[in-house]
Amino acid sequence: ETGVTQTPRHLVMGMTNKKSLKCEQHLGHNAMYWYKQSAKKPLELMFVYSLEERVENNSVPSRFSPECPNSSHLFLHLHTLQPEDSALYLCASSQARGAGGTDTQYFGPGTRLTVL
């Protein structure tokens, strides 16, 4: 148990559906991240929120829409996805160094997404 939870753990959706992934951290961190893990590829950083502001968006398609309502919660809203978006989506949190914290990221267990 790392203090970062993700729901749901598994999700199957059609290309026309709208769904959301949820991440919650109980570590008092102020930075949160979404990563995509596909088979045989390095982890891809999608979004970074630091102090609830989006500080990085790695050219992610607009069918992925993040939301960070507070420092403990992070969402990834999904709509009109493609089959190639099937992957494990990992959330992580850390204490941003600007606040004097460490640089270690703690990961949740991930949501296994399948797009039909």
Partner 1 sequence: GDSVTQMEGPVTLSEEAFLTINCTYTATGYPSLFWYVQYPGEGLQLLLKATKADDKGSNKGFEATYRKETTSFHLEKGSVQVSDSAVYFCALRRNFGNEKLTFGTGTRLTIIP
Which residues are at the interface with partner 1 (CB under 8 A)?
2, 4, 6, 31, 33, 40-43, 45, 48, 50, 55-56, 90, 92, 94, 96-97, 103-110
- Residue 93 contacts residue 31 (beta carbons within 8 Å): yes
Our CB check for partner 1 shows the closer of 10 and 84 to be 10
Our CB check for partner 1 shows the closer of 14 and 28 to be 28
Q: Looking up tokens 């979004």, which residue turns up?
A: 47
Rounded to the nearest whole angstrom, what is the least distance from the CB of residue 66 to partner 1 in the complex?
A: 15
The answer to whether the Cα torsion of 50, 92, 114, 83 is positive or negative is positive
- Residue 101 contacts residue 52 (beta carbons within 8 Å): no
Our CB check for partner 1 shows the closer of 40 and 84 to be 40
Our CB check for partner 1 shows the closer of 40 and 70 to be 40
Rounded to the nearest whole angstrom, what is the least distance from the CB of residue 80 to partner 1 in the complex?
A: 27
Rounded to the nearest whole angstrom, what is the least distance from the CB of residue 1 to partner 1 in the complex?
A: 10
If one counts every other C-beta atom within 10 angstroms of the C-beta of residue 114, the result is 13
If one counts every other C-beta atom within 10 angstroms of the C-beta of residue 84, the result is 8
Rounded to the nearest whole angstrom, what is the least distance from the CB of residue 38 to partner 1 in the complex?
A: 10
Q: Looking up tokens 């703690």, which residue turns up?
A: 106
